[in-house]
Amino acid sequence: MPTLAVWTPDDGLLAAVAPLALAVAGPDATLVADLDEAGPRYPGDGSLADLAVDGPRRSDLEPERRRGTAVLRNGGISAVAALEVVEALVAGWPSVVLRLPPRPDPDLAGLLDRHRIPLVPVIALPPVDLWPDRLAEGAAAVMQPTRWRQQAPRPGPVLPRPRGGSWESLLRGRIRSGDRWVRAWRSVWEFPWR
């Protein structure tokens, strides 16, 4: 069961959209679970907080269909308080994308280590990397937000500039399957993160 943890420290909008694009490009039915208690209010019923309080039902722990994307917004609960639910979701879904908060959290790092979940830093690369030391060493998924192409500062997939409407479609839950930017996220699933 592939699970990836997405961490986008610098850009709130990219942090909201990156997990959605990664899930849509995923190999199977994919769940996005937001572990940031201050995260975006994704559309849809229910939240991680609801599951932690009420307990998950069987239908929450496995997909109804073999393909497609489901999004579970956070609802204002810490990842530590929802740890049992998160572990059950990771065990039940074919593919999971965990959206991490922008600040590092040692408890989340422990969860990722215990379950051997790769961390995928996602950064937008300005024409000049003004903060070369902002991320720890290692691979990152790099999005080129401008037409100007440059070498990525670290190994990892390089994502093209999104076309108009890509982000809005994802945020509204309208998936455009032929979207070039969304398709490019397949390379993130295929990259050897560990």
Distances (CA, A) of 141 to 7, 24, 55, 80, 136: 10, 16, 34, 26, 13
Find the Cα–Cα–Cα–Cα dihedral 189, 4, 136, 127, rounded to 10°. Answer: 50
- In this predicted model, what pLDDT tens digit does every residue of 28-75 receive, in sequence order? 889 999 999 999 999 888 999 999 999 999 889 888 777 788 999 999
- The H-or-E segment that residue 146 falls in is none
Q: What angle do CA 144, 190, 161 make, to 5 degrees?
A: 15
Q: Check residue 145 and give its pLDDT.
A: 65
Q: What's the rounded Cα separation, in Å, for the pair 56 and 89?
A: 9
pTM: 0.88
8 Å CB contact between 37 and 76:
yes
Q: What is the mean pLDDT of residues 95-106?
A: 91
SS3 label, residue 119 = strand
SS3 label, residue 31 = strand
Q: What's the rounded Cα separation, in Å, for the pair 79 and 24?
A: 23
Question: Position 160: which residue type?
Answer: P
- In this predicted model, what pLDDT tens digit does every residue of 118-157 receive, in sequence order? 999 888 876 455 666 666 667 777 776 666 566 666 778 8
Query: Which CATH architecture fits 3-190?
Result: 3-Layer(aba) Sandwich (3.40)
**Over 80: is that where the pLDDT of 169 sits?**
no
- The H-or-E segment that residue 123 falls in is strand 119-124
Record the tokens describing residue 20, joined without a space: 């959605």
**Over 60: is that where the pLDDT of 1 sits?**
no
